[in-house]
Structure 1
């Protein structure tokens, strides 16, 4: 697959395991995450980027990285899939990932086939995203966000492709 997987986490232990999984899935490039500028430069070579996060003790510590990606000026970065890998995350950890706009949380077992199926759901299919000043991510949060934050929001339909990257198919603004 002509896509780049960025591993967000330590280079050893879970990071090394996630690197091994990503290489086995056929990503053309697998790199340690080195910031949004490096990711933007990489997007010129491989238009579709995936950000694979390793498990951490405090999921909230991932917010600065998730925000750098989700609120990037670059369409290729902001609509890139964010996936959190955790052995058995708590309900609070999963909720935090949802609130940060992660596309998926994958739990054990991390078999190649299981991960491949989950990743396949994120490309070559229309995805609906929801955006407020503090959130950008999959639409599963629409009802929660509109209840908590009345006001304007955007509903976006996107399509990710390994060949062309991210395409915005529809962009609607709404006033609540």
Structure 2
């Protein structure tokens, strides 16, 4: 596991700090599929692929401010609910609203 992903997972599991819901965005210059999957599985809110235009970054930040995803929590994962909306309706696992510190 990449060190960044380990830190994110530790934040989400409450091992670092006292707010597992803090907004966590990752910027990467190396958008390899396995790296992206590792970040997503760790529970990041968003991943920016660099280089990024200012407008693209601003749009992503606005989206976090105005439309932050609900979270889900299991024994192995806590972070944004990225499930297909139809699947989320069928699953017993319900998403929950988390504090949005950037709002």
Shorter-chain TM range is 0.7 to 0.9
- The number of residue pairs the alignment matches comes to 98
Query: TM-score, normalised to structure 1's length?
Result: 0.46
Cα distance change of structure 1 residues 76 and 121 upon mapping to structure 2, 3 Å threshold: farther
- What is residue 11 of structure 2 aligned with on the other side? 69
Secondary structure of 1:122 counterpart: helix
Where does the alignment leave 5 or more consecutive residues of structure 1 unmatched?
1-58, 147-151, 164-176
Cα distance change of structure 1 residues 74 and 154 upon mapping to structure 2, 3 Å threshold: farther
- What is residue 36 of structure 1 aligned with on the other side? none
- What is residue 88 of structure 1 aligned with on the other side? 30
Question: Counterparts of 1:142 and 1:133 in 2: how far apart (Å)?
Answer: 20
Cα distance change of structure 1 residues 156 and 76 upon mapping to structure 2, 3 Å threshold: farther
Where does the alignment leave 5 or more consecutive residues of structure 2 unmatched?
none
Indicate the structure with greater strand content. Answer: 1
Query: TM-score, normalised to structure 2's length?
Result: 0.73
- What is residue 64 of structure 2 aligned with on the other side? 122
Q: Please give the root-mean-square deviation of Cα atoms over the aligned residues, in Å.
A: 3.1
- What is residue 139 of structure 1 aligned with on the other side? 81
Question: Counterparts of 1:154 and 1:76 in 2: how far apart (Å)?
Answer: 23
